[in-house]
Structure 1
Amino acid sequence: MTQPPPQPPDQPPRQPGFGAPANPPQPPPGPPAPQPGYGYPQRPPAPQPGYGYPQQPPAPQPGYGYPQQQPPRPATPGYGHPAQPPTAGNPYAQQPGYGYPGGPPGQPGYPAQPGGPVPGPGSSGPGRNNAVLLIVTAAVVAIALIVGGGIWYAKSSGGDGKKDDSASPSGGTGGQGKGGDKSGTGTEKVPSDPTSKVLFQVPLPAAKDTTVTAGSWLTDKVYAKSGVAEITGYDPGSGAELWKVPLPGPVCYATGHVSADGRTAVVFQPKMPPKGSSTGCSQVAAIDLKAGKKLWTKSVKSGDVPINFNNVTVAQQTVAVGGTSGGAAFDLASGKVRWQPKPTDTCYDAGYGGGTKLVAVRRCGSGDTGQLHIQTIDPVSGKVSSDYEMTSGIDYASVVSTDPLVVAADVNDSAGDGSGFSDVFSIDNRTGKLRTRISTPGSSYAVRCDGIYEVEKCKGVVVGNDRMYLATEEHDGSGAYAKTNEIVAFDLATGEQTGQRADAGNNYTITPLRMDGSNLIAYKNAPYNKGAQVVSIDGGSFKETRLLENPVSTAVKAVETSMSPEYSEALYSQGRLYLSAVYARAAGASTPGKAYLVTAFGAGG
């Protein structure tokens, strides 16, 4: 791992009445250069945060998960030659992605908080009565205040979610998901008293260096969390330790997907690294969350040197790992290899999205002729069932959802905030045709994706009901110094806004977490004198129902500040909220108050 990153200064104080993280957890600096693996150069060209743009693609190659060429980099030894050892440094890029932050707001990778001008009342025609003008002006100003900060989320407006005329929708959903308004089909119960209490807390473990602790999972019997070179299972209610799975080195990457039989996967380092260095992210393991044991550990070699991976996912009974040296897949139960890189292929799998389907972000060719493909594949055989070629010049993409298939990219670096999120591509899983393309300006939407390495890491966006739910950026609220934001919905068949909008309320910010049937579960960060909330948003009416509200105390507010969903992992189920850290800090690192790896809250009734 690398030396702890320099601590940035605290964020500027909020305006009165608004509470938000002052010192989000700081990530370690960037990953070691990926292993060259089968004739590949060392790491992608240094793009601006977002995506670079080559020109004409070659035809995609058959076969799956097998690298041969990379984006343009210095030449390295070909297949069978020992790979260059990992460079000193942490295995995780300080990308502008989301959830594993590159810095607090105002630092690279995070946008400044936009306010936006409040729309003016418009002009009056000649001879208009001044009294009427004042009434109209007052009414329009009131509307502008209700809208907040001049951002009006209408059904369709300009570049804000406007359907791309060049898109070629396939017409219909292709069996990907059913649209339409649905109400009341979630499984989350509404407690008689949503007021929560702290169920348990796990102290942040000591570390020699800033160390990744990414990975948290929740089943009906266990809450599991990555620590420093270990994964621990806790009783979901009491926090009593149920089991512990030791690892030889720290976790690098973890998937949030869990199979129906309670299994998941991680990528980790083969041993504990000396301070300021890394031993690479070459080990893949499956974890049985029910039994509390490691099922198997695997690696893939280039010559005699293990390949490093940059992401991991689970789809049905397959574990898939990807990176700039190519992708590999294993049977979830046994660890049997399903596919791995081959020296004769001219494409490589940069990463995968999992869940009910398996989708690969696959790159063919190099340099200006490189082409990115979004491919739905059979999780067992690796056979391609659909293939969508991204617009020439898009080097990186994030998989927001595999079913329905939704992919995000920063086209021409137009997001302007390093978020990796300027346009969304809704793709038919069955045919590989583009259903619609949606413009999602970075100045309007608070979504962060890391498509360069972890292709499945997007926060602030959730897909369900054949719709996409986005958090907007903060903007002025309806009172003095007030800030707020919303969640808005887009139809994935038409690309238009549905008109549904969930308002956070003055001095709250709202972030979508996941679907609950046809309903949406969201987290609401609160002002200093209120507790954070978890709400259920009806998929049809968009009515908010409070599921949980935290108590107001100095200790709880400190947890909410350091573990907001922007900078941590948040899981909610059946009246319980789990917030957990994605980094353990080095000894002596500046930490305001006591630091926790996990804090669990439970509703009262």
Structure 2
Amino acid sequence: MTQPPPPPPNQPPGPPPGGFGAPQDPPPGGFGAPQDPPPGGFGAPTPPPNQPPNQAPYGYPQQPPAQPPQQPYGYPQQPPTQPQGQPQYGYPQQQQPYGYPQQPQQPYGYPQQPQPSTVVAAGAGGGKKLSTQMQIVIAAVVAVVLIVGGGVWYANSGGGEKDDNAGGTTGATTGGNKDGASGGLGGNGKEKVPANTKSSLKFQLPQPKVDDTTDVSGSWITDKAFVKTDVNSIVGRDLDKGTPLWTLALPGQVCGTSRHTTADNKTAILFEATKRVGPKFYQPCTEVGVVDLNAGKLVWSTSVTGGNAGDDKARFSEVTLSGTTVAAGGTDGGAAFDLANGNPRWKPKANAESCYDMGYGGGEGLVAARKCGSYNSQYVVIQNLNPISGAPISQYKMPTGVEYAAIVSTKPLVVAADVGDTAGDGSGISDFFSIDEKTGKLKVKIAADAERFAAKCRSTEVETCTKVVVGNGRLYLPTEEREGSTGEYGDETNEILAFDLTTGKQIVQKADAGDRWTMVPLRMDGGNLLAYKMPPYDMGGQIVSIDGGTMKPTVLMENPSDKTVRDAEGTFSGDYAEILYANGRMFISDVMISKPSGTSSYKEYLALGFSTN
């Protein structure tokens, strides 16, 4: 392929010339909106709980301890002058942290005019108000200008209304009408209210038997099939019966999947080259492939060498898809491939800054989370990439104290991180960063109190966040469970709140789950937000469509409250299970299964299928 242009003059010490792809040294000059965050590490894994009925399920298997980057790789490039638009897709997954506290680094990136950044605590109001005298002066000046220009100008101001939500925080205006109305957001969803919202359980798949904890993350819906990762295979099943339509056998266990699919239902996976055998039950995750979810065929598979792996196959921990590019990342470095044929677009390469791509966010854009620096003074850079060449369109250096970062959305670009390991709850999130993907400038940082909000990002993975959705220029976050209005045992509830990605202010409207229910946001549907309502002990779950502007929920599905059905549904947790909904059908499936303990008396399921049809 064509090599990228040489670095501009007066660069800081960079890698040797040559190479290609996403890895590269940052160009000179300040960029973004430099912060002074607290020092410290990042990420804390959620301890894997046991999984009796109606409790959170077991955790995730761990890869052998990652070695610190020994052989740096990647090549410097100048950013292209124009970003390239990409098609879109949509959905999240797992793992666990390592690393050391970092030394403060100088911000760097593309030259730009100094710009103040905004830091807003989630749930807090905006900045300082102008004095009355200053407002009068400004109003007078504006009036003179308008009169001179012969124009007439009318304005509606938001007014800083308060939100009387249970958390007791102060809301902010939506930036639209003074009554906090939605301003035309919401609607245009494909998911319609069925004639009968009562669903029935169509099938229940028992867990396959395994000898050790096994990753089975990955599920998709097509027009004809519910597709689910199994043991050493991927299986497409009838939407209503759950019976196999096709089985794609693989040489080893699936160890990574993309939540994104193409318009013709292709997706990317990672898998192990050989089957697992005792006593260690582990194989390196080295194979990258594309699966046709309609035909049940492996379109291609390949592996690459280089980076920290040297002459061995590079190991990857996650894979994503953007346009015609498949991108995989991990501690050995990042690589990208042509969706059609698997030809490499870039491979892990060494560079003088010890930089490597930990992983990528896909969908409408392709964004790399890139770690650089010596082992005891590493820092993270977020790079919006040209998905064909890997050249950076823009980049933003994360604050000191960030060891890992997660891509919540690529367009608009939203990044989650635990700055200085301050979250303290294993969520991997202390703040959300809204970044201009074209310039790399920070729009706003939204501080998210880990004790108040329930979103989660797996610390060492880049595209694994759950319970958080971006759409309508907003960040939708659920609150943690709290006591309901009755104060009785089992009367927990929560809300979904929204934050403006330009101002960071909380939107006045909110969606209440209601007493004894808690809500988990799933995905956008046009301007609406789909959410799963986890039920109380005596009822079935629900799927609701929340208007993205007014935050008013509408019930699309109500699952059966029969004891046997609700007990089966209750074995899955909103924290870990994959929940898909489309066209009146809901599928809930496990992401991790383990060897039965021998003392358990309850049934465990790989997946359940519900339908209102």
Q: Deviations over 1:572-596 (max 9, x none)?
A: 0111000011122214455442222
Where does 1:362-373 land on structure 2 (aligned, <5 Å)?
362-373=370-381
For residue 534 of structure 2, what is the amino acid of its counterpart?
N
Which residue pairs with 2:417 in the alignment? 409
Which residue pairs with 1:307 in the alignment? 314
Does the 8 Å CA contact 1:154/1:499 hold for their aligned counterparts?
A: no
Which residue pairs with 2:254 in the alignment? 251
Residues 436/412 of structure 1: CA separation in 2 closer, same or farther (3 Å cut): same
Which residue pairs with 1:340 in the alignment? 347
Where does 1:452-531 land on structure 2 (aligned, <5 Å)?
452=460, 454-481=461-488, 482-531=491-540
Q: Deviations over 1:351-410 (max 9, x none)?
A: 100001000001121245422111110111111111111112311111111110000111
Aligned partner of residue 536 in structure 1, secondary structure: strand
Does the 8 Å CA contact 1:474/1:484 hold for their aligned counterparts?
A: yes
Does the 8 Å CA contact 1:55/1:370 hold for their aligned counterparts?
A: no
Moved more, 571-580 or 476-485: 476-485
**CA–CA separation in structure 1 for the residues paired with 2:330 and 2:71:** 14
1:31 aligns with 2:30: no
Which residue pairs with 1:65 in the alignment? none
Residues 484/234 of structure 1: CA separation in 2 closer, same or farther (3 Å cut): same
**CA–CA separation in structure 2 for the residues paired with 1:491 and 1:6:** 32
Structure 1 residue 210: deviation in Å?
1.4
Structure 1 residue 541: deviation in Å?
1.6
Which residue pairs with 1:331 in the alignment? 338
Where does 1:539-558 land on structure 2 (aligned, <5 Å)?
539-558=548-567
**Aligned match of 2:329 in 322, 325, 330?**
322
**CA–CA separation in structure 2 for the residues paired with 1:350 and 1:254:** 16
Does the 8 Å CA contact 1:532/1:549 hold for their aligned counterparts?
A: yes
Residues 557/590 of structure 1: CA separation in 2 closer, same or farther (3 Å cut): farther
Residues 58/414 of structure 1: CA separation in 2 closer, same or farther (3 Å cut): closer
Aligned partner of residue 400 in structure 1, secondary structure: strand
**CA–CA separation in structure 2 for the residues paired with 1:234 and 1:44:** 31
**CA–CA separation in structure 1 for the residues paired with 2:504 and 2:352:** 36
Relative to the length of structure 1, the TM-score reads 0.75
**Aligned match of 2:222 in 213, 219, 222?**
219
Structure 1 residue 7: deviation in Å?
8.4
**Aligned match of 1:440 in 434, 438, 448?**
448
1:54 aligns with 2:109: no
**CA–CA separation in structure 2 for the residues paired with 1:205 and 1:349:** 34
User: Is there any run of 5+ residues in structure 2 with no aligned partner, and where?
Assistant: 1-45, 74-94, 111-163, 175-181
Residues 36/418 of structure 1: CA separation in 2 closer, same or farther (3 Å cut): closer
For residue 287 of structure 1, what is the amino acid of its counterpart?
V
Which residue pairs with 2:545 in the alignment? 536
**CA–CA separation in structure 2 for the residues paired with 1:444 and 1:428:** 27
Residues 37/294 of structure 1: CA separation in 2 closer, same or farther (3 Å cut): farther
**CA–CA separation in structure 2 for the residues paired with 1:217 and 1:531:** 23
Which residue pairs with 1:419 in the alignment? 427
Aligned partner of residue 560 in structure 1, secondary structure: helix
For residue 168 of structure 2, what is the amino acid of its counterpart?
W
Residues 391/35 of structure 1: CA separation in 2 closer, same or farther (3 Å cut): closer
**CA–CA separation in structure 2 for the residues paired with 1:411 and 1:236:** 43
Does the 8 Å CA contact 2:107/2:397 hold for their aligned counterparts?
A: no
Where does 1:523-602 land on structure 2 (aligned, <5 Å)?
523-602=532-611
Structure 1 residue 252: deviation in Å?
1.2
**CA–CA separation in structure 2 for the residues paired with 1:221 and 1:366:** 50
Residues 53/480 of structure 1: CA separation in 2 closer, same or farther (3 Å cut): same
Aligned partner of residue 555 in structure 1, secondary structure: helix
Residues 9/333 of structure 1: CA separation in 2 closer, same or farther (3 Å cut): closer
Aligned partner of residue 564 in structure 2, secondary structure: helix
Q: Deviations over 1:26-78 (max 9, x none)?
A: 1344211346776269x99845xxx84431158679xxxxxxxxxxxxxxxxx
Which residue pairs with 1:375 in the alignment? 383
Which residue pairs with 1:260 in the alignment? 263
Q: Deviations over 1:204-249 (max 9, x none)?
A: 1111211111100112222110001100111223323211111111
Does the 8 Å CA contact 2:319/2:328 hold for their aligned counterparts?
A: yes
Structure 1 residue 415: deviation in Å?
1.2
**Aligned match of 1:279 in 259, 283, 286?**
283
Which residue pairs with 2:404 in the alignment? 396
Does the 8 Å CA contact 1:313/1:319 hold for their aligned counterparts?
A: yes
Relative to the length of structure 2, the TM-score reads 0.74
Residues 589/422 of structure 1: CA separation in 2 closer, same or farther (3 Å cut): farther
Does the 8 Å CA contact 2:400/2:420 hold for their aligned counterparts?
A: no
For residue 420 of structure 2, what is the amino acid of its counterpart?
N
Aligned partner of residue 184 in structure 1, secondary structure: coil
**CA–CA separation in structure 2 for the residues paired with 1:256 and 1:207:** 24
**CA–CA separation in structure 2 for the residues paired with 1:585 and 1:310:** 20
Aligned partner of residue 442 in structure 1, secondary structure: coil
Aligned partner of residue 412 in structure 1, secondary structure: helix
Aligned partner of residue 282 in structure 1, secondary structure: strand
Structure 1 residue 473: deviation in Å?
0.5
Structure 1 residue 147: deviation in Å?
4.2
Aligned partner of residue 25 in structure 1, secondary structure: coil
Q: Deviations over 1:512-546 (max 9, x none)?
A: 00000000000000111221100000112211110
Which residue pairs with 1:71 in the alignment? none
Residues 283/205 of structure 1: CA separation in 2 closer, same or farther (3 Å cut): same
User: Is there any run of 5+ residues in structure 1 with no aligned partner, and where?
Assistant: 12-20, 62-145, 162-178
For residue 530 of structure 1, what is the amino acid of its counterpart?
M
1:293 aligns with 2:297: yes
Where does 1:176-187 land on structure 2 (aligned, <5 Å)?
180-187=183-190
Structure 1 residue 22: deviation in Å?
4.0
Structure 1 residue 305: deviation in Å?
1.7
Structure 1 residue 316: deviation in Å?
1.0
Which residue pairs with 1:240 in the alignment? 243
Which residue pairs with 2:89 in the alignment? none
Structure 1 residue 503: deviation in Å?
0.4
The CA RMSD over aligned residues, in Å, is: 2.8
**CA–CA separation in structure 2 for the residues paired with 1:402 and 1:244:** 32
**CA–CA separation in structure 2 for the residues paired with 1:7 and 1:263:** 32
Structure 1 residue 153: deviation in Å?
4.4
**CA–CA separation in structure 1 for the residues paired with 2:562 and 2:70:** 56
Where does 1:183-198 land on structure 2 (aligned, <5 Å)?
183-198=186-201
**CA–CA separation in structure 2 for the residues paired with 1:345 and 1:188:** 51
1:154 aligns with 2:203: no
Aligned partner of residue 362 in structure 1, secondary structure: strand
Which residue pairs with 1:202 in the alignment? 205
Moved more, 508-517 or 248-257: 248-257
**Aligned match of 1:384 in 392, 395, 405?**
392
Structure 1 residue 319: deviation in Å?
0.8
For residue 383 of structure 2, what is the amino acid of its counterpart?
Q
Residues 147/489 of structure 1: CA separation in 2 closer, same or farther (3 Å cut): closer
Which residue pairs with 1:128 in the alignment? none
For residue 514 of structure 1, what is the amino acid of its counterpart?
R
1:450 aligns with 2:458: yes
Structure 1 residue 318: deviation in Å?
0.9
For residue 152 of structure 1, what is the amino acid of its counterpart?
G
Aligned partner of residue 558 in structure 1, secondary structure: helix
Aligned partner of residue 272 in structure 1, secondary structure: coil
**CA–CA separation in structure 1 for the residues paired with 2:598 and 2:262:** 37
**CA–CA separation in structure 2 for the residues paired with 1:6 and 1:487:** 25
Aligned partner of residue 376 in structure 1, secondary structure: strand
